[in-house]
Amino acid sequence: MNHFTKQASRRLALVGLGVLIQAAASSTARADGLETLPHACALLLSEARFELEDRREEERLAPIRSAADQAIYELLEPLWKARSTEWLRYLAARHARDRSRLEVDRAGIETKRAEEKLTALTRECVDPGAGTEKPTLRYERLGCDLARKTRDIAALDLAYRKEVLESTNELRRLELATAQDLIHARYALDRAKAQLQSRSARWDRCKRASGRHP
């Protein structure tokens, strides 16, 4: 394929992409009653509405998951005290209980953030005179809250992975765990460290940008 053929192919691809975007926006606008808005606004508003629906569903389900994890922990705690279940199994249940509690909080923050995003987009596209500064500011602040909560979850995960590796090392010494088990535990710990570093950096950037403190 020569240079000119490649250029023609690229032009056709771009034209086709533009047609697809316009078609998607038009279809979305008709479905949401946004026919009079520009294609970009209609598409963005529709996506924001779908996102809010998803976040609300996650917020509704998070407490259900948390209650289930709490129930499992309550079943295993007396068994562990009686030494009738494995330490790693009890440890996993405790971690799941603590993590799902944080996930309930995170789901609530994500729902509020999606609401502010939809409000800002609606004002920008439908009623520009209403102003977008306040919902945008709330959206950014909730972004910081989300970054902090995500960091807290990552810190919890790291503490759990450290305990798992410590226990796996001991089981390996007693020849009750395999070399493969140990590799998996080390990898999970390294991954948790990297995730906490990334989440902490995001939270630090947010604090610097907003002038907030923990």
The pLDDT tens digits for 188-200 are 999 999 999 999 9
Rounded to the nearest 10 degrees, how much is the dihedral formed by the CA atoms of 143, 147, 153, 157? 140
Q: Is the dihedral of CA 170, 171, 175, 178 positive or negative?
A: negative
Q: Assess contact for 59 and 107: CB atoms under 8 A.
A: yes
Tokens of 24: 């998607």
| Domain ranges (residues) in the chain | 28-210
pLDDT for residue 166: 98
Which carries the bigger pLDDT value, residue 185 or residue 27?
185
pLDDT score, position 36: 58
The percent of residues in the chain predicted with pLDDT above 70, rounded, is 80
pLDDT of 32 reads 53
In this prediction, residue 124 carries a pLDDT of 86
pTM over 0.85: no
Where residue 161 falls among pLDDT bands split at 50, 70, 90? very high
Does the pLDDT of residue 12 top 50, yes or no?
A: no
For 74, the token pair is: 């309550």
pLDDT, position 37: 63
User: Of the ranges 5-14, 68-77, 86-95, which one carries the lowest mean pLDDT score?
Assistant: 5-14
pLDDT at 213: 46
Token readout for 172 is 């390996």
3 state SS of 173 = helix
Range with top average pLDDT, 132-136, 174-178, 206-210:
174-178
- pLDDT for 38: 67
pLDDT at 19 over 80: no
Q: How far is CA 90 from CA 56, 86, 106, 163, 194, in A?
A: 31, 6, 24, 12, 25
- C-alpha dihedral over 119, 124, 127, 128, to 10 degrees? 130
